[in-house]
Homo-oligomer: A and B are copies of this chain.
Amino acid sequence: MTAEPADPALEPVRRPALSDEVIERIRARIASGDWPVGSRIPPEPELMRRLQVARGTVREAVRALAHTGLLEVRRGDGTYVKAKSELSGAVTRLYGGSDLGQLLEVREGLDAQAARLAAARADDTALDALADALRRRAAAWEAGDFDAWVTADWDFHAGVADASGNALLAELYHNLAGPLRTAMAEAWSTSGFQGADPVGHETLLAALRERDPAEAGRQAAANVSDTRAWDEGEGSRRG
C-alpha cells in the first residue's frame, strides 16, 4: 500500500474507446438539433468515411444508441432519430406494459410538485397557454373528440411541468407520456376508460394564477386521484 500523492499531472492516461467517441459525436448531433427527430442519419458507409473508423466501430455506437431509444434502425432502409432524450427508452423498458395504477401514482407525485413549483414561478405567458389548453380540452370534451381531448389534456399537464421551471422534472414528466399513453390505451380498450372529470383542472389553473403553491399541489393531486379512482373503481364496467 504505497501512498500515492494526488498529482493531477500524473493521472493515468486514459483513452476512451473509439466507439464511445462515435457515440458522443452522434449524440451531440441529435442534441444540437442537427439531426432532428424523425430524420435519417447518414448510412454506415458514410459515417465510416467521415469519422475514419471501421464499420464495426460505427455499428457498435449506433447499436448502443438504438438500444437506449435514441435511434431506430430499419434494416434495408436506414437509421432514424427516434428521440432526443435517453430517458424515455429506459422508462419504457422498465415499465413496458406495466401497471397503469403505478404510472398514475408516479404521475400524481410529479404533477403535484410541478403545480406547487409552477404556482411560484409560472409567468403570464405560460398561464395563458395553460388556459388555452383548457379551452381546447373542454371543447373536445363537448364535441366527443377523444383524440383532441387527450392532446389538449396532455398539453395542459405538460405545460404545468414546463412552467415549474425545473428541467429535470419536466423531462421526467414528458418521458412518462409514452408508457402512460400505452397503458391508458390498453385500459381504454379493456374497460372503456375515457378520461377524468373535465372540471378539476380549472381550479388548478385558478390556484396557479393566485400563486398559491399549497392549493395548486392539492388540486393537481386531486385531479389524478380522480382518474385513478375511476380506473380502479369503475373500470370493470363496460357493457
Asked whether, in the complex, the Cβ of A106 is within 8 Å of the Cβ of B172, the reply is: yes
* Closest residue of B by beta carbon distance from A60: B63
CB contacts (< 8 Å) of A169 on chain B: these are: 102, 105-106, 109
* Stretch in A38-46, A86-94, A133-141, A192-200 touching the partner: A86-94
Assuming the A-B contacts A67-B68, A112-B112, are A94 and B86 also in contact, with contact meaning beta carbons closer than 8 angstroms in the complex?
A: yes
Considering only residues 58-93 of chain A, those with a C-beta below 8 Å from chain B are: 59-61, 63-68, 73, 75, 85-87, 89-91, 93
A23 at the interface (CB under 8 A from B): yes
Chain B nearest CB from A91 CB (Å) reads 7
Residue pair A109, B113 in contact (C-beta under 8 Å): yes
Chain A interface (Cβ within 8 Å of chain B)? 17, 19, 23, 56, 59-61, 63-68, 73, 75, 85-87, 89-91, 93-95, 98-99, 102-103, 105-106, 108-110, 112-114, 117, 164, 166-169, 171-172
Q: Are B102 and A93 interface neighbours, CB within 8 A? A: no
- Bound-state Cα–Cα, A151 to B49, Å: 50
| Number of copies of this chain that the complex holds | 2
Residue of B nearest to A86 (CB): B90
Interface of A is mostly: helix
Known pairs A68-B90, A90-B87, A168-B102; A63 contacts B19 (CB<8 A): yes
Chain B residues whose CB sits within 8 angstroms of the CB of A109 once the complex forms: 109-110, 112-114, 169
What residues on B are CB-neighbors of A172 within 8 Å?
Answer: 106, 172
Contact present for A166 and B87 (CB under 8 Å)? no
Please list the 7 inter-chain residue pairs (A to B) with the smallest Cβ-Cβ separation, ordered nearest first.
A109-B113, A64-B67, A90-B90, A60-B63, A102-B168, A64-B64, A109-B109
Looking at the complex, which one of B17, B89, B168 makes contact with A98 (CB distance below 8 Å)?
A: B168
- Chain B residue with the shortest CB-CB distance to A61: B63
Cβ-defined contact, A95 with B59, below 8 A: no
- Judging by beta carbons under 8 Å apart, are B95 and A168 in contact? yes
CB distance from A220 to the nearest CB of B (A): 10
Give me 27 A-to-B residue pairs in the complex whose CB atoms sit less than 8 angstroms apart, sorted by A's number. A56-B59, A60-B60, A63-B64, A64-B64, A64-B66, A64-B68, A67-B68, A85-B94, A86-B90, A86-B94, A87-B94, A95-B168, A99-B168, A105-B113, A105-B117, A105-B164, A105-B168, A105-B169, A106-B110, A106-B166, A106-B169, A108-B113, A109-B109, A109-B112, A110-B110, A112-B112, A172-B172
